[in-house]
Amino acid sequence: MIHSGLAAKMELVLFILKNCPYCKKAMQTVRSQRLRHREIIVPNTEEAKGKVKRQNRMMTFPQIFLQVSADRRLKIGGSDDLEALLMAAKGGKETVGISPTLLSQFRKLL
């Protein structure tokens, strides 16, 4: 998919585990919406999962972020958070708990 301008530099970054139903749900959402993204498959070992959890300060998977620039990443959360953000970005009313900055930046990806 070809994007122009700022959106071409932006992408979703998803830290996922194989065989994780929530990770599969998030990937289905990303693919069905044709969103620019990068998947990072985390090995299913306690050491690897622990490292990613500490690095991203999240305890569950998937861990989804909006990469705004090379050095700026905004936390979205998990698969339900991604769906809520997508609904809000498309004009839905469910915006409680969604950062206006995240919402504004995410809309540029659509």
pLDDT in tens, 65-98: 999 998 899 999 999 999 999 999 988 666 678 8
For the chain, which domains are there? 5-109 (3.40.30.10)
Strand 11-16 versus strand 63-69 pairing type: antiparallel
Query: Structure pTM?
Result: 0.87
pLDDT, tens digit, 9 for 90 and up, residues 26-61: 999 999 999 999 999 999 999 999 999 999 999 999
